[in-house]
Chains A and B, each alone.
Chain A
Amino acid sequence: MDMKSLYLIVPLAPLAGAVIAGLFGRAIGRRGAHSVTIAAVLIAFLASLVIFQDVLAGNTYNGPVYTWLISGDVRFEIGFLIDRLSALMMLVVTFVSLMVHIYTIGYMADDPGYQRFFSYISLFTFSMLMLVMSNNFLQLFFGWEAVGLVSYLLIGFWYTRESAIYANLKAFLVNRVGDFGFLLGIGLILAYFGSLDYAQVFQAAPQFASHSISLIPGEAWSLLTVICILLFIGAMGKSAQFPLHVWLPDSMEGPTPISALIHAATMVTAGIFMVARMSPLFELSDTALSVVMVIGAITALFMAFLGLVQHDIKRVVAYSTLSQLGYMTVALGASAYGAAIFHLMTHAFFKALLFLAAGSVIIALHHQQDMRYMGGLKKYMPITYWTALIGSLALAGIPPFAGFFSKDAIIEAVGASHLAGSGFAYFAVLTGVFVTAFYSFRLLFLTFHGPERFRQHHHGHEEGAHHHATVEPKESPWVVTVPLILLAIPSVYAGWAYIEPLLVKGWFGSAIVVAPAHDTLGHLAANWHGVLSFITHGVMALPFWLAVAGIASAYLFYMVRKDLPERVSRKAGIVYTILLRKYGFDELYSWLFAGGARKLGGRLWRWGDVTAIDGWLVNGSARLVGAVAGLVRQLQSGFIYHYAFAMIIGLVVLVTWFVQP
């Protein structure tokens, strides 16, 4: 089989699985639905492996598969760009997706929407793969939107829950804001470059480096800066960067496998991937890189703080995702694209692991998500505990777990950057390390250690029938634990195994372009003396000790002096409230945008819609059309001589019109 058909199989297999499970779900039953989708994703994963090997051997591909339409000089195509960047992403996406598919069998076992769920997650995998494999902006946008749509469907999967509906609407609307910028960016590219093809745009980009446009008369901005910032606004929406981050925590309303698949491992990384893919454009604009770095730094630090005060186990993980995405974004801003992708990869493994572990706990406690009613689960759920511990150590950045390497690389790269805002970013990522270690071990201690609080009644929560069950928590079935173990393996070794090839040896090759002035990773490579020396160097450096301090503080707060959290929160009253209210962004947005927009909308509706559009245009034109149509109908009398007469009149008119003597 040639490679091109293999490329096609990768996205099409999950699509076929989604279609079969979605349209014929009732006919093939539950077993049929999960077999067919898992088989499809497995095929995609294996194909990705083969492609990865092929790419490693030096074969890349860039070409169209199908031309949708040609309009003037612009070709709208479906095409694949397979290089080291996309091959790596394909591997990560299909692997995590496969794990999530298997895990879902256990997690959704008693859900009536079983087949629908499998159909959605396969569809999601297809969309994500289309996004990743694209060689042009149109297909990128298609994947981008398809991912957004499926995530909307998945967040609101339990569509009878009020909160789920709210959350999916919120995710959808916030993403629209980002997509607006994204679409404008693509529009500008099309307008100035006259092409949607990556290769052509990247090739032409340097010619536009000093080109400026004035959107507001009298203000000249660099074209590429505007394009890059607009594209980045799209990434901010999808990758939940400040201030468009508000949708991600709420989206935890979806079933846990979704949180793992979408919100930790794949969809939110679409923005990171996109910026890395656009590195030839971003490298030409220092301003845009600064913006990226500062936004990332804000997200990395301030979202980590929010993780400190949450009680919902999934929300803690969600805020940690936000913060980690911030780290990746900072890396992008520092031109350390390799480090960002590297962190994306390690994060995909350990964050999916943490989400699935949280889900495993939630199943064991019959959909209890509040950490205040957990504790002591270690002896009941050993596999979940040990895998969660590995995930937390990786997240906190303790060597030799995966997160240490990728995070340290980012911190070093930021330290080496000279762009405006890099000082603040360096401070933010350093502080973030402490906070990250603190909240991740807070989660671990509250859930698995200490007294067993899960027998207490949780009043005020919905009194579902199964909440009263007093059965002992027990380890989850193998479909849940096997993915945990399989995800724990790369969480351990992916760091030391891949840092050298990925970051030091320029693994990405021509897929990523870095201007010499921005080469922050070059600094890392120049001082490279092997993995062991990187670890010893790291153990003696500040970030490691900050992480250790974070873990120690968490131990102190939640294991030794359990009164401390209470006292601190009382002392720091206002700060605590601000954190609990998530800096008030939800309130601000609902007041400013939802409230303001509704008022504006109300006016427009009354004046514009009811009076002008409905009154004059719609009903008016409908009345006019109706009246004319009634008249026309009268012409059709049914008498043959009327018809003949009409023909002859028509002929006479034509003759008099055209025949001039």
Chain B
Amino acid sequence: MTPLNLTPALPEIFVLALACVVLLVEAFSKKPEWSYTLTQLTLVGAGAITLLTAEAGKVYAFNGMFVDDLMGDVLKLVSYAAAIVAVAYSRAYLSERAMFRGEYFVLVLFAVLGMMVMISASHFLTLYLGLELLSLSLYTLVALQRDSMVASEAAMKYFVLGALASGFLLYGMSILYGMTGSLELTKVVAAVEQGSSSLLAFGLVFVVAGLAFKLGVAPFHMWVPDIYHGAPSAVTLFIGSAPKLAAFAIVMRLLVDGLHPAVGDWQQMLAIMAVLSLMIGNLAAIMQSNLKRMLAYSTIAHMGFLLLGVLADSYAGYSAAMFYVITYALMSLGAFGMVVYLSRAGFEAENLDDFKGLNARHPWLAAVMAMVMLSLAGLPPFVGFYAKLTVLQALVGAGWLWLAVIAVIFSLIGAFYYLRVVKLMYFDAPHANDLAPSGEADVRALLSLNGLGVLVLGLVPQPLLALCAYAIQTSIQ
């Protein structure tokens, strides 16, 4: 029995404690601004603690159930940042719709906590615990607008399908446990190395299916468009960004750390799902007239791309995927942030038509949106280009040329619907329904930073690329 070392889990403990404080503040104070400030401070504080306790190399805690490494630290830091930005963007939107209340902040904090646990899990149970904490918070967030039929329906679908996916995952884990006799990833990997059997493949399929649901890749993607569309935009903004980082983390922990001996099998599964996702995501996005729905399909395609990096099965591939997911979170925040920012009381700026002629009224907002869209499409000099390029490089380096070709073809098709948004903003006559941005100056500045970040990271990608490569190299054996 090793002595109890709480240091690695300090950020999680901090967030948990503060989330409870926010809950109490809400109960005794009528001022939601307090909860808002406290939430942001909590996230910043968690960031500081994570930074201070960051170490190169792996540190285990709680008898190997919990691991602290550089990959986890980087992903956590990005998650806090994404949550901070998402909460800031949502402030005006929520208060106009009577959702600016303590529940929202508590749920966001618990969701972040769930992600943190997922990111640091090195044990099937911790992993599942984090996953459920995140999922339950998200289900509730989607249903936050109780009297909205669409939102309630979306929450219901999300919950039922999520439960099904959790079932898959649990079933897969239980089979693996039966086979290896351990729930601890480090021991699982040792046991799996003894020899692969059809039982292993059976369990693997269920685990991969569960993970695929969380990432939202085809054919386990059906929930994504409905939930993105049905949830309040501010919640979609949150769901679309930070949880992807956690999902990436559990893919890395489970498949790369825990089940690497079965790499031949899961590589092929991921390849199939990646191709399907690229196909379905990009093709279906073309037909959408609702921006949130379109972005939902684009998420599916992007997550497919992310899988390509993972399945390349090399340090280059993993770090490319990590770079991809971080930059995707940034772009997703920008795109959904714009939807939230342009919405006002009683009006959702979520249809493509609402963006017509945006340049004539608000040239800077149109420019920011254009940068984000071009980056999502993968055009240089924006960061989306480098994200795609590094993944493709890793993929070709690992000998998956045909996959790279498919990915490029579908990215090309996908560029159409991003460019359509740019075209609508710049070349079409303004819509009769004028968009009046509701947010405050600080949100506007943050949004501008968000858009410029996409550009600046595209011009200077090396530092982040190097950070990802370093984090992966110190965290993955």
- Provide the residues of chain A in CB contact with B160, threshold 8 Å: 640, 644
- Provide the residues of chain A in CB contact with B156, threshold 8 Å: 640
- Provide the residues of chain A in CB contact with B157, threshold 8 Å: 640, 643
State whether the Cβ of B109 lies closer than 8 Å to any Cβ in chain A. no
- Provide the residues of chain B in CB contact with A661, threshold 8 Å: 198
State whether the Cβ of A626 lies closer than 8 Å to any Cβ in chain B. yes
Name the segment of A79-87, A124-132, A199-207, A645-653 touching the other chain.
Answer: A645-653
| A642-B222, A651-B168 as given contacts; A658 in contact with B206, CB under 8 Å | no
Q: For window 621-649 of chain A, which residues contact chain B by CB distance below 8 Å?
A: 625-626, 628-630, 632-633, 635-636, 638, 640, 642-644, 646-647, 649
Q: How far is the CA of A629 from the CA of B410 in the complex (A)?
A: 12
Contact between A647 and B287, CB atoms less than 8 A apart: no
Contact between A660 and B198, CB atoms less than 8 A apart: yes
Q: How far is the CA of A625 from the CA of B226 in the complex (A)?
A: 22
Q: Mark B227-268, 1 if CB is under 8 A from A, else 0.
A: 000000000000000000000000000000000000001001
- A-B contacts counted at CB < 8 A amount to 82
- Provide the residues of chain B in CB contact with A642, threshold 8 Å: 222
State whether the Cβ of B99 lies closer than 8 Å to any Cβ in chain A. no
| A625-B283, A629-B284, A636-B284 as given contacts; A658 in contact with B164, CB under 8 Å | no
- Provide the residues of chain B in CB contact with A640, threshold 8 Å: 156-157, 160-161
| A643-B161, A651-B206 as given contacts; A626 in contact with B284, CB under 8 Å | no
State whether the Cβ of A655 lies closer than 8 Å to any Cβ in chain B. yes
State whether the Cβ of B129 lies closer than 8 Å to any Cβ in chain A. no
- Provide the residues of chain B in CB contact with A633, threshold 8 Å: 284, 287
Task: Kindly provide the distance from the CB of A145 to the nearest chain B CB, expressed in whole angstroms.
Answer: 15
- Provide the residues of chain A in CB contact with B220, threshold 8 Å: 647, 650
Contact between B219 and A649, CB atoms less than 8 A apart: yes
Checking A625, A638, A647 against B213 with a beta-carbon cut-off of 8 angstroms, the contacting residue is A647
Question: Across the two chains, which residue of chain B brings its CB closest to A632?
Answer: B284
Checking A635, A636, A647, A657 against B209 with a beta-carbon cut-off of 8 angstroms, the contacting residue is A647
Contact between B209 and A650, CB atoms less than 8 A apart: yes
Contact between B283 and A647, CB atoms less than 8 A apart: no
State whether the Cβ of B413 lies closer than 8 Å to any Cβ in chain A. yes
Q: Mark B264-297, 1 if CB is under 8 A from A, else 0.
A: 0100110010000001100110110000000000
State whether the Cβ of B95 lies closer than 8 Å to any Cβ in chain A. no
State whether the Cβ of B225 lies closer than 8 Å to any Cβ in chain A. yes
State whether the Cβ of B208 lies closer than 8 Å to any Cβ in chain A. yes
Main secondary structure of the interface of B (DSSP, over half): helix
Contact between A644 and B202, CB atoms less than 8 A apart: no
State whether the Cβ of B205 lies closer than 8 Å to any Cβ in chain A. yes
Question: Across the two chains, which residue of chain B brings its CB closest to A70?
Answer: B462
Checking B165, B213, B462 against A67 with a beta-carbon cut-off of 8 angstroms, the contacting residue is B462
State whether the Cβ of A659 lies closer than 8 Å to any Cβ in chain B. yes
Checking A626, A643, A657 against B286 with a beta-carbon cut-off of 8 angstroms, the contacting residue is A626
Q: How far is the CA of A647 from the CA of B156 in the complex (A)?
A: 17
State whether the Cβ of B223 lies closer than 8 Å to any Cβ in chain A. yes
State whether the Cβ of A654 lies closer than 8 Å to any Cβ in chain B. yes
State whether the Cβ of B78 lies closer than 8 Å to any Cβ in chain A. no
Q: For window 155-179 of chain B, which residues contact chain A by CB distance below 8 Å?
A: 156-157, 160-161, 164-165, 168
> Which 10 residue pairs of A and B lie closest in terms of their CB atoms, listed nearest first?
A650-B219, A643-B222, A629-B283, A632-B284, A629-B286, A629-B287, A633-B287, A654-B205, A658-B201, A659-B201
A contact set with B: CB distance below 8 Å: 67, 69, 625-626, 628-630, 632-633, 635-636, 638, 640, 642-644, 646-647, 649-651, 654-655, 657-661
B contact set with A: CB distance below 8 Å: 156-157, 160-161, 164-165, 168, 198, 201-202, 204-206, 208-209, 213, 218-220, 222-223, 225-226, 265, 268-269, 272, 279-280, 283-284, 286-287, 413, 416, 461-462
Residue pairs across A and B with Cβ atoms less than 8 A apart, 25 shown, are: A67-B462, A625-B416, A628-B283, A630-B287, A632-B279, A632-B287, A633-B284, A636-B222, A640-B156, A640-B157, A643-B226, A644-B160, A647-B213, A647-B219, A650-B218, A651-B168, A654-B205, A654-B209, A657-B272, A658-B205, A658-B265, A658-B268, A659-B202, A660-B198, A660-B201
